[in-house]
Amino acid sequence: MSKAESTKLMQSWTLPETGTLQTRIDEMIRPAILAGCFITSPTAIVGGLQYHLGGEEDTRQLAELAGISREDSVIDVCSYLGGPALQLAESYGCRVVGIDISEDFIAAARRIAELAGFSDRVTFQAANARDLDFDDGRFTVVWCQGSLEHDEAWLREFDRVLAPEGRLALTLAIRGSSPNAHSPMWTLDDVAAKVRDMGYSIQHLEDITDRDIEIGWSALDQKLHDGESLFAAALGADWVRDAHAKFAEEIRTMRQGRWGNGRIVARKAGAR
């Protein structure tokens, strides 16, 4: 689909009237996702609005651990189509700035926020996480789900834009315990050490690999199973078969300890 066609499709969106906000948005954007307007991996296509393992439940859990409140100003790094940003604003009343390197994702997220009636609390802009165009100490929470690059430049920028006593709230892929683990990744202990070295206190540190097998990959596979006729009609039976195989392979490699997921909430030191 061309950019012009994608733009025209987004402009035609109408938010359904019944259901939760997230399910209404998912229903609205599904044709665009199935048409390949955004990320074309099976994880993104089946996952929909929230492109990270665990979806809304992962967002809810991380928000509770981070103590998100109405007073917070949050930057959501790698915000994709804005699902978590909208969930945070709706559930906790905070203000959120979503950033992503993709102009297409940002355009779609802005349109979704407009239709959902949250443009006054949730905004989006294209940005690179290694070089954020925000003032020092701009945010009280730096938020990132499942997209953290294992690059200390990201952590330095997170620290720079975070206010004193602000919080990091991150879920991320981590290196597993197997000898065949993906070696370029940090371990969860590596992340904790880097954050402590920046002067942060760890509020929560957890390996969530088993959880993400259950509410992540297994839930995606069930969602695919429940909607097989829809996905097959749009993408073909071979695509459905391959997607099931993809999810099963991710479960297998996680259980083998080749990689996993972790979660960390940490508080920055106060002003001196």
In Å, what is the CA distance from 140 to each residue of 57, 68, 121, 124?
22, 9, 15, 17
**Sign, Cα dihedral of 65, 68, 73, 77:** positive
Domains delineated in the chain: 52-207+257-267 (3.40.50.150), 213-254 (no CATH)
Which one, of 72, 79, 73, 32, lies nearest residue 51 by Cα?
Answer: 79
76 versus 3: the higher-pLDDT residue is 76
Burial of 149 (0-12, 13-18, 19+ CB in 10 A): middle
Which one, of 218, 220, 213, lies nearest residue 46 by Cα?
Answer: 220
pLDDT digits (tens, 9 = 90+) for 119-138: 999 999 999 999 999 999 99
Contact 30, 10 (CB under 8 A): no
**CA 210 – CA 131 distance, rounded (Å):** 33
Q: How far apart are the first and last CA of the chain?
A: 53
User: Across residues 15-35, what is the average pLDDT?
Assistant: 95
Contact 81, 51 (CB under 8 A): yes
**CA 42 – CA 30 distance, rounded (Å):** 13
- Whole-prediction pTM: 0.95
pLDDT digits (tens, 9 = 90+) for 200-226: 999 999 999 999 999 999 999 999 999
Contact 248, 221 (CB under 8 A): yes
What local confidence, expressed as pLDDT, does residue 6 receive?
Answer: 77
Which one, of 148, 145, 149, lies nearest residue 216 by Cα?
Answer: 145
